[in-house]
């Protein structure tokens, strides 16, 4: 493996090992997704991805979506959400705003409108209150389309929402009837 060349590639690699493939570098996550910072740094170094504690702090501090968090005592680190490995982030249900947003690529729109938003390999569907964030997420995959999610009606119908530490709204799925194309 080659060392990361910049903060963005380092952040992507950390997302990979803290959310999806900790075994790639021999890392172990606890039930809540935490791992000791020193273990992470040691495992990264062992695979040729050396990172200092200061560099790791910079990645965490400058992550555009605040993807990572340190424990209160600074000895552990985890991804805030988006895991495909089994973790329990310990999030309590929260009342969402009336409307949330989701950005996607236009090529996925017909499928989404027919089947809704599904978490797939992740633990939850990710939603936001910020249209700019929704737009930037959707742009990663092509021509962006913005969807409004009628969260108030979802809650009234029994759906549960959570909010991660970095402000991402999470739910198990969004059936098509709660989706509105933003024009």
Structural domain spans, the chain? 7-79, 99-181
Residue 158 in this model has a pLDDT that exceeds 60: yes
The pLDDT value recorded for residue 81 is 79
CB within 8 A of 57, min separation 6: which ones? none
- Look at residue 83 in the predicted model and tell me its pLDDT: 81
Global pTM reads 0.69
So what's the pLDDT on residue 5?
A: 47
Give the span between the Cα atoms of 84 and 116, in whole angstroms. 20
* CATH class of residue range 99-181: alpha beta
The Cα-based distances of 68 to 117, 127, 144, 174 in angstroms read 24, 17, 26, 25
**123, 128, 131, 134: CA torsion to nearest 10:** -10
Residue 173 and residue 13: Cα distance in Å, rounded?
Answer: 27
Domain 7-79 is in which class?
mainly alpha
The predicted-structure confidence for 42-92, as pLDDT tens digits, reads as follows 999 999 888 999 999 999 998 777 889 999 999 999 998 778 888 888 889
Residues 6+ apart with CB under 8 A from 175: 116
pLDDT value at residue 4:
43
Q: Do domains 7-79 and 99-181 have the same CATH topology?
A: no
Residues 105 and 142: beta-carbon distance below 8 Å: yes
């Amino acid at each position: 493996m080659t060392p990361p060349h910049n903060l963005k590639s380092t952040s992507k690699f950390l997302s990979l090992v803290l959310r999806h493939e900790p075994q790639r570098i021999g890392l172990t996550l606890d039930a809540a997704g935490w791992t000791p910072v020193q273990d992470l740094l040691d495992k990264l170094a062992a695979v040729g991805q050396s990172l200092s504690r200061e560099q790791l702090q910079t990645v965490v501090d400058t992550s555009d979506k605040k993807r990572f968090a340190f424990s209160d005592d600074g000895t552990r680190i985890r991804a805030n959400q988006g895991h495909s490995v089994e973790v329990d982030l310990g999030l309590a249900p929260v009342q969402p705003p009336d409307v949330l947003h989701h950005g996607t690529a236009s090529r996925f729109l017909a499928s989404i409108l027919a089947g809704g938003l599904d978490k797939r390999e992740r633990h939850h569907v990710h939603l936001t209150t910020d249209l700019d964030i929704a737009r930037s997420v959707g742009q990663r995959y092509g021509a962006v389309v913005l969807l409004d999610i009628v969260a108030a009606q979802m809650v009234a119908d029994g759906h549960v929402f959570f909010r991660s530490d970095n402000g991402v709204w999470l739910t198990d799925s969004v059936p098509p009837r709660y989706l509105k194309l933003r024009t």
